[in-house]
Structure 1
Protein backbone atom coordinates (compact mmCIF):
# COMPACT_ATOMS: atom_id res chain seq x y z
CA UNK A 1 0.00 0.00 0.00
CA UNK A 2 1.37 3.42 -0.98
CA UNK A 3 1.61 6.41 1.37
CA UNK A 4 -1.20 8.02 -0.62
CA UNK A 5 -3.44 4.98 -0.07
CA UNK A 6 -2.60 4.95 3.65
CA UNK A 7 -3.53 8.63 3.99
CA UNK A 8 -6.83 8.07 2.16
CA UNK A 9 -7.67 5.09 4.39
CA UNK A 10 -6.82 7.04 7.56
CA UNK A 11 -8.95 10.02 6.53
CA UNK A 12 -11.86 7.77 5.52
CA UNK A 13 -11.82 5.99 8.91
CA UNK A 14 -11.44 9.18 10.94
CA UNK A 15 -13.92 11.47 9.17
CA UNK A 16 -17.23 10.94 7.36
CA UNK A 17 -15.96 13.10 4.48
CA UNK A 18 -12.98 15.32 3.72
CA UNK A 19 -11.58 17.73 1.14
CA UNK A 20 -7.90 18.57 0.71
CA UNK A 21 -7.07 21.23 -1.88
CA UNK A 22 -4.01 23.16 -2.94
CA UNK A 23 -4.77 26.83 -3.51
CA UNK A 24 -3.20 28.44 -6.57
CA UNK A 25 -3.19 32.12 -7.58
CA UNK A 26 -2.28 34.14 -10.63
CA UNK A 27 0.72 36.43 -10.41
CA UNK A 28 1.60 39.60 -12.27
CA UNK A 29 3.89 39.35 -15.27
CA UNK A 30 2.54 36.13 -16.82
CA UNK A 31 1.41 37.46 -20.15
CA UNK A 32 -0.35 35.13 -22.55
CA UNK A 33 1.53 34.07 -25.65
CA UNK A 34 -0.17 34.86 -28.99
CA UNK A 35 -2.60 32.12 -30.03
CA UNK A 36 -1.56 29.78 -32.82
CA UNK A 37 -3.31 30.01 -36.17
CA UNK A 38 -6.75 28.44 -36.02
CA UNK A 39 -7.20 29.08 -32.26
CA UNK A 40 -9.42 31.76 -30.76
CA UNK A 41 -10.42 32.65 -27.22
CA UNK A 42 -13.52 34.46 -26.08
CA UNK A 43 -16.65 34.36 -23.92
CA UNK A 44 -18.71 31.18 -24.11
CA UNK A 45 -21.48 31.87 -26.63
CA UNK A 46 -24.79 30.11 -27.21
CA UNK A 47 -23.56 28.76 -30.55
CA UNK A 48 -20.73 26.92 -28.78
CA UNK A 49 -22.89 25.28 -26.12
CA UNK A 50 -24.45 22.93 -28.68
CA UNK A 51 -21.02 21.77 -29.84
CA UNK A 52 -20.04 21.12 -26.22
CA UNK A 53 -23.25 19.13 -25.66
CA UNK A 54 -22.30 16.93 -28.63
CA UNK A 55 -18.84 16.14 -27.22
CA UNK A 56 -18.06 12.52 -26.33
CA UNK A 57 -16.38 13.74 -23.12
CA UNK A 58 -18.68 13.66 -20.06
CA UNK A 59 -16.51 16.16 -18.13
CA UNK A 60 -16.50 18.54 -21.09
CA UNK A 61 -20.30 18.35 -21.42
CA UNK A 62 -20.72 18.74 -17.65
CA UNK A 63 -18.93 22.09 -17.72
CA UNK A 64 -22.16 23.59 -19.03
CA UNK A 65 -23.68 23.17 -15.54
CA UNK A 66 -21.51 26.13 -14.48
CA UNK A 67 -22.72 28.12 -17.48
CA UNK A 68 -26.35 27.35 -16.57
CA UNK A 69 -25.57 28.49 -13.03
CA UNK A 70 -24.69 31.95 -14.36
CA UNK A 71 -20.89 31.76 -14.12
CA UNK A 72 -18.82 33.50 -16.78
CA UNK A 73 -17.34 31.07 -19.28
CA UNK A 74 -14.24 31.48 -21.41
CA UNK A 75 -13.75 29.11 -24.35
CA UNK A 76 -10.76 28.24 -26.49
CA UNK A 77 -11.78 27.02 -29.95
CA UNK A 78 -10.03 25.59 -32.99
CA UNK A 79 -11.41 25.29 -36.53
CA UNK A 80 -13.59 22.33 -35.43
CA UNK A 81 -15.15 24.03 -32.40
CA UNK A 82 -14.58 24.39 -28.63
CA UNK A 83 -11.55 22.56 -27.21
CA UNK A 84 -11.24 23.97 -23.66
CA UNK A 85 -13.69 25.79 -21.39
CA UNK A 86 -13.07 27.55 -18.06
CA UNK A 87 -15.66 29.07 -15.72
CA UNK A 88 -15.16 31.88 -13.24
CA UNK A 89 -17.02 32.99 -10.11
CA UNK A 90 -17.13 36.59 -8.95
CA UNK A 91 -17.17 37.25 -5.18
CA UNK A 92 -20.99 37.36 -5.09
CA UNK A 93 -21.22 34.03 -6.99
CA UNK A 94 -18.47 32.29 -5.07
CA UNK A 95 -19.72 29.53 -2.72
CA UNK A 96 -16.43 28.16 -1.39
CA UNK A 97 -15.37 30.60 1.34
CA UNK A 98 -14.87 27.66 3.71
CA UNK A 99 -12.23 26.35 1.29
CA UNK A 100 -10.56 29.70 0.58
CA UNK A 101 -12.06 33.18 0.58
CA UNK A 102 -11.69 35.72 -2.20
CA UNK A 103 -11.68 39.52 -2.00
CA UNK A 104 -13.81 42.03 -3.89
CA UNK A 105 -11.16 42.51 -6.59
CA UNK A 106 -10.59 38.78 -7.19
CA UNK A 107 -12.36 36.02 -9.10
CA UNK A 108 -12.11 32.25 -8.75
CA UNK A 109 -11.51 29.84 -11.60
CA UNK A 110 -13.85 27.08 -10.43
CA UNK A 111 -13.82 24.68 -13.38
CA UNK A 112 -11.75 23.93 -16.46
CA UNK A 113 -12.26 21.09 -18.91
CA UNK A 114 -10.64 20.02 -22.18
CA UNK A 115 -12.45 18.03 -24.85
CA UNK A 116 -11.07 14.49 -25.22
CA UNK A 117 -10.14 15.12 -28.86
CA UNK A 118 -7.86 17.99 -27.80
CA UNK A 119 -6.09 16.52 -24.76
CA UNK A 120 -2.30 16.56 -24.65
CA UNK A 121 -1.95 19.74 -26.71
CA UNK A 122 -1.44 22.18 -23.85
CA UNK A 123 -4.79 23.88 -24.28
CA UNK A 124 -5.65 24.05 -20.56
CA UNK A 125 -2.63 26.18 -19.54
CA UNK A 126 -3.10 28.29 -22.67
CA UNK A 127 -6.73 28.94 -21.70
CA UNK A 128 -5.82 29.70 -18.07
CA UNK A 129 -3.10 32.14 -19.06
CA UNK A 130 -5.14 33.96 -21.72
CA UNK A 131 -8.22 34.22 -19.47
CA UNK A 132 -6.05 35.48 -16.60
CA UNK A 133 -4.65 38.22 -18.81
CA UNK A 134 -8.16 39.22 -19.96
CA UNK A 135 -9.36 39.49 -16.35
CA UNK A 136 -6.31 41.49 -15.29
CA UNK A 137 -6.83 43.89 -18.19
CA UNK A 138 -10.42 44.31 -16.95
CA UNK A 139 -9.12 45.40 -13.53
CA UNK A 140 -9.19 42.14 -11.56
CA UNK A 141 -6.18 42.05 -9.23
CA UNK A 142 -5.88 38.28 -8.78
CA UNK A 143 -7.50 34.99 -9.72
CA UNK A 144 -7.48 31.92 -7.48
CA UNK A 145 -8.27 28.23 -7.92
CA UNK A 146 -8.46 25.29 -5.56
CA UNK A 147 -7.21 21.95 -6.86
CA UNK A 148 -7.64 18.52 -5.29
CA UNK A 149 -4.28 17.72 -3.69
CA UNK A 150 -3.52 14.68 -5.90
CA UNK A 151 -4.81 16.02 -9.24
CA UNK A 152 -1.42 16.21 -10.95
CA UNK A 153 -2.69 17.10 -14.46
CA UNK A 154 -4.54 20.17 -13.11
CA UNK A 155 -1.60 21.18 -10.93
CA UNK A 156 0.72 20.97 -13.97
CA UNK A 157 -1.69 23.06 -16.06
CA UNK A 158 -1.86 25.88 -13.55
CA UNK A 159 1.90 25.88 -12.99
CA UNK A 160 2.54 25.93 -16.75
CA UNK A 161 0.19 28.93 -16.90
CA UNK A 162 2.44 30.72 -14.41
CA UNK A 163 0.21 30.45 -11.34
CA UNK A 164 1.77 29.77 -7.93
CA UNK A 165 0.75 27.70 -4.92
CA UNK A 166 -0.33 30.02 -2.09
CA UNK A 167 -2.05 27.72 0.38
CA UNK A 168 -3.49 24.43 1.51
CA UNK A 169 -7.14 24.02 2.51
CA UNK A 170 -8.24 21.04 4.60
CA UNK A 171 -11.92 20.48 5.30
CA UNK A 172 -13.24 17.55 7.34
CA UNK A 173 -16.74 16.50 8.25
CA UNK A 174 -17.63 14.82 11.52
CA UNK A 175 -21.30 13.95 11.55
CA UNK A 176 -23.07 16.84 9.82
CA UNK A 177 -20.52 19.51 10.70
CA UNK A 178 -17.67 20.66 8.45
CA UNK A 179 -14.48 22.09 9.96
CA UNK A 180 -11.94 24.04 7.90
CA UNK A 181 -8.24 24.66 8.21
CA UNK A 182 -6.65 27.14 5.80
CA UNK A 183 -2.86 27.22 5.70
CA UNK A 184 -1.21 30.08 3.77
CA UNK A 185 2.10 29.10 2.19
CA UNK A 186 5.12 31.32 1.55
CA UNK A 187 4.89 32.94 -1.86
CA UNK A 188 7.41 31.73 -4.43
CA UNK A 189 7.56 32.63 -8.08
CA UNK A 190 6.47 30.08 -10.65
CA UNK A 191 10.07 29.78 -11.81
CA UNK A 192 11.28 29.07 -8.26
CA UNK A 193 8.64 26.38 -7.82
CA UNK A 194 9.68 24.68 -11.05
CA UNK A 195 13.37 24.80 -10.03
CA UNK A 196 12.56 23.29 -6.63
CA UNK A 197 10.72 20.37 -8.23
CA UNK A 198 13.70 19.48 -10.43
CA UNK A 199 16.30 19.45 -7.65
Structure 2
Protein backbone atom coordinates (compact mmCIF):
# COMPACT_ATOMS: atom_id res chain seq x y z
CA UNK A 1 0.00 0.00 0.00
CA UNK A 2 2.83 2.41 0.89
CA UNK A 3 4.53 1.77 -2.45
CA UNK A 4 1.27 2.45 -4.29
CA UNK A 5 0.81 5.76 -2.46
CA UNK A 6 4.37 6.75 -3.32
CA UNK A 7 3.76 6.01 -7.01
CA UNK A 8 0.51 7.99 -6.98
CA UNK A 9 2.17 10.95 -5.25
CA UNK A 10 5.03 10.92 -7.75
CA UNK A 11 2.58 10.78 -10.69
CA UNK A 12 0.63 13.75 -9.37
CA UNK A 13 3.39 15.83 -7.80
CA UNK A 14 6.26 14.80 -10.06
CA UNK A 15 9.84 15.08 -8.93
CA UNK A 16 10.48 16.99 -5.75
CA UNK A 17 13.35 18.48 -3.82
CA UNK A 18 13.63 19.81 -0.30
CA UNK A 19 16.71 21.86 0.57
CA UNK A 20 17.85 23.84 3.56
CA UNK A 21 19.46 27.14 2.61
CA UNK A 22 22.25 28.04 5.01
CA UNK A 23 23.87 31.43 5.47
CA UNK A 24 27.07 32.86 6.87
CA UNK A 25 27.33 36.63 7.15
CA UNK A 26 30.59 38.57 7.41
CA UNK A 27 29.42 40.02 10.73
CA UNK A 28 29.09 36.56 12.25
CA UNK A 29 32.70 36.58 13.44
CA UNK A 30 35.20 33.78 12.95
CA UNK A 31 33.99 30.24 13.39
CA UNK A 32 36.03 28.09 15.75
CA UNK A 33 38.20 25.50 14.06
CA UNK A 34 37.54 21.94 15.24
CA UNK A 35 40.43 20.71 17.43
CA UNK A 36 41.00 17.76 15.07
CA UNK A 37 41.69 20.26 12.24
CA UNK A 38 44.93 21.55 13.79
CA UNK A 39 47.14 19.62 11.35
CA UNK A 40 45.31 20.68 8.20
CA UNK A 41 46.50 23.35 5.81
CA UNK A 42 43.56 25.13 4.18
CA UNK A 43 43.77 27.74 1.47
CA UNK A 44 42.99 28.71 -2.11
CA UNK A 45 43.78 26.19 -4.83
CA UNK A 46 44.07 26.51 -8.60
CA UNK A 47 42.30 24.29 -11.10
CA UNK A 48 45.58 22.88 -12.45
CA UNK A 49 46.56 21.57 -9.01
CA UNK A 50 43.16 19.88 -8.64
CA UNK A 51 43.54 18.29 -12.09
CA UNK A 52 46.97 16.95 -11.05
CA UNK A 53 45.72 15.50 -7.75
CA UNK A 54 46.34 11.74 -7.43
CA UNK A 55 42.91 11.19 -5.84
CA UNK A 56 40.35 10.64 -8.65
CA UNK A 57 37.47 11.85 -6.43
CA UNK A 58 39.24 15.19 -5.98
CA UNK A 59 40.26 15.41 -9.68
CA UNK A 60 36.61 15.08 -10.75
CA UNK A 61 35.82 18.36 -8.97
CA UNK A 62 38.15 20.51 -11.11
CA UNK A 63 35.35 21.79 -13.36
CA UNK A 64 33.94 23.75 -10.39
CA UNK A 65 37.05 25.99 -10.45
CA UNK A 66 37.70 28.81 -12.89
CA UNK A 67 36.44 32.30 -13.57
CA UNK A 68 33.69 33.45 -11.20
CA UNK A 69 34.72 30.84 -8.64
CA UNK A 70 36.88 30.63 -5.55
CA UNK A 71 38.32 27.19 -4.86
CA UNK A 72 39.75 26.01 -1.54
CA UNK A 73 41.65 22.87 -0.61
CA UNK A 74 42.24 21.15 2.69
CA UNK A 75 45.59 19.41 2.75
CA UNK A 76 46.79 16.74 5.13
CA UNK A 77 50.47 15.78 4.87
CA UNK A 78 50.59 17.74 1.60
CA UNK A 79 47.76 15.80 -0.06
CA UNK A 80 44.42 17.36 -1.01
CA UNK A 81 41.81 15.66 1.19
CA UNK A 82 38.92 18.10 0.76
CA UNK A 83 37.71 20.78 -1.63
CA UNK A 84 35.05 23.47 -1.64
CA UNK A 85 33.99 25.94 -4.29
CA UNK A 86 32.10 29.23 -4.16
CA UNK A 87 30.46 30.72 -7.24
CA UNK A 88 29.33 34.31 -7.67
CA UNK A 89 28.29 36.79 -10.37
CA UNK A 90 27.82 35.48 -13.90
CA UNK A 91 29.23 32.06 -13.05
CA UNK A 92 26.41 31.48 -10.58
CA UNK A 93 23.59 33.24 -12.44
CA UNK A 94 22.52 30.26 -14.64
CA UNK A 95 22.03 28.13 -11.52
CA UNK A 96 19.83 30.79 -9.97
CA UNK A 97 18.57 28.59 -7.15
CA UNK A 98 19.02 31.35 -4.58
CA UNK A 99 19.18 35.03 -5.58
CA UNK A 100 22.60 36.56 -4.99
CA UNK A 101 23.40 40.25 -4.69
CA UNK A 102 26.77 41.96 -5.14
CA UNK A 103 29.35 40.77 -2.61
CA UNK A 104 27.49 37.50 -2.10
CA UNK A 105 28.50 33.97 -3.13
CA UNK A 106 27.15 30.46 -2.87
CA UNK A 107 29.13 27.44 -1.78
CA UNK A 108 28.21 25.14 -4.65
CA UNK A 109 30.30 22.07 -3.84
CA UNK A 110 32.13 20.61 -0.87
CA UNK A 111 33.68 17.17 -0.84
CA UNK A 112 35.94 15.21 1.46
CA UNK A 113 38.10 12.31 0.37
CA UNK A 114 36.31 9.09 1.44
CA UNK A 115 39.36 8.04 3.47
CA UNK A 116 39.16 11.27 5.51
CA UNK A 117 35.44 11.35 6.29
CA UNK A 118 34.66 11.74 9.97
CA UNK A 119 37.90 13.62 10.66
CA UNK A 120 36.38 17.13 10.66
CA UNK A 121 37.77 18.09 7.24
CA UNK A 122 34.45 19.58 6.08
CA UNK A 123 33.80 21.93 9.05
CA UNK A 124 37.44 23.07 8.99
CA UNK A 125 37.28 23.70 5.24
CA UNK A 126 33.94 25.52 5.48
CA UNK A 127 35.12 27.73 8.38
CA UNK A 128 38.49 28.63 6.87
CA UNK A 129 37.15 29.25 3.36
CA UNK A 130 34.29 31.43 4.70
CA UNK A 131 36.82 33.52 6.64
CA UNK A 132 38.91 33.99 3.50
CA UNK A 133 35.82 34.89 1.43
CA UNK A 134 34.93 37.55 4.05
CA UNK A 135 38.51 38.89 3.88
CA UNK A 136 38.08 39.20 0.11
CA UNK A 137 35.00 41.41 0.58
CA UNK A 138 32.11 38.95 0.35
CA UNK A 139 29.59 40.00 2.99
CA UNK A 140 27.22 37.04 2.80
CA UNK A 141 27.62 33.40 1.81
CA UNK A 142 24.94 30.83 1.12
CA UNK A 143 24.81 27.07 0.70
CA UNK A 144 22.05 24.61 -0.07
CA UNK A 145 21.96 21.21 1.56
CA UNK A 146 19.49 18.37 1.03
CA UNK A 147 17.07 18.51 3.96
CA UNK A 148 18.19 15.26 5.60
CA UNK A 149 21.91 15.27 4.79
CA UNK A 150 22.80 15.31 8.47
CA UNK A 151 26.62 15.07 8.11
CA UNK A 152 26.65 18.19 5.90
CA UNK A 153 24.20 20.03 8.14
CA UNK A 154 26.42 19.26 11.17
CA UNK A 155 29.53 20.44 9.30
CA UNK A 156 27.95 23.77 8.39
CA UNK A 157 26.60 24.26 11.93
CA UNK A 158 30.06 23.55 13.38
CA UNK A 159 31.47 26.19 11.01
CA UNK A 160 29.02 28.80 12.30
CA UNK A 161 26.47 28.84 9.48
CA UNK A 162 22.78 29.20 10.30
CA UNK A 163 19.59 28.14 8.59
CA UNK A 164 18.06 30.84 6.41
CA UNK A 165 15.21 29.03 4.66
CA UNK A 166 13.69 25.76 3.56
CA UNK A 167 13.05 25.49 -0.17
CA UNK A 168 10.57 22.95 -1.52
CA UNK A 169 10.24 22.32 -5.25
CA UNK A 170 7.43 20.30 -6.79
CA UNK A 171 6.96 19.48 -10.42
CA UNK A 172 3.32 18.40 -10.77
CA UNK A 173 2.38 16.80 -14.06
CA UNK A 174 5.94 17.35 -15.32
CA UNK A 175 5.62 21.10 -15.84
CA UNK A 176 8.34 22.94 -17.74
CA UNK A 177 9.28 24.82 -14.55
CA UNK A 178 8.76 23.40 -11.06
CA UNK A 179 6.84 25.22 -8.36
CA UNK A 180 9.21 26.65 -5.77
CA UNK A 181 8.19 27.49 -2.24
CA UNK A 182 10.59 29.30 0.10
CA UNK A 183 9.87 29.04 3.80
CA UNK A 184 11.86 31.30 6.11
Relative to the length of structure 2, the TM-score reads 0.82
Other-structure match for 2:142: 144
SS in 1 for 2:119: coil
CA distance in 2, matches of 1:64, 1:73: 9
SS in 2 for 1:154: helix
> Residues 56 and 93 from structure 1, CA distance in 2 versus in 1: closer, same or farther, beyond 3 angstroms?
closer
Q: Higher RCO, 1 or 2 (CA under 8 Å, sep at least 6)? A: 2
* Unaligned residue ranges in structure 2 (runs of 5+): none
Question: 1:30 offset after TM fit, Å?
Answer: 2.9
CA distance in 1, matches of 2:4, 2:21: 23
CA distance in 2, matches of 1:158, 1:7: 34
Other-structure match for 1:179: 179
For the aligned residues, what is the CA RMSD? 2.7
Relative to the length of structure 1, the TM-score reads 0.77
* Unaligned residue ranges in structure 1 (runs of 5+): 185-199
SS in 1 for 2:125: helix
Other-structure match for 2:95: 96
Aligned length: 176
Question: 1:69 offset after TM fit, Å?
Answer: 7.6
CA distance in 2, matches of 1:169, 1:30: 27
SS in 1 for 2:137: coil
Given that residues 52 and 59 in structure 2 are in contact (C-alpha distance below 8 angstroms), is that contact kept between their aligned partners in structure 1?
no
Other-structure match for 1:189: none
> Residues 154 and 180 from structure 1, CA distance in 2 versus in 1: closer, same or farther, beyond 3 angstroms?
same
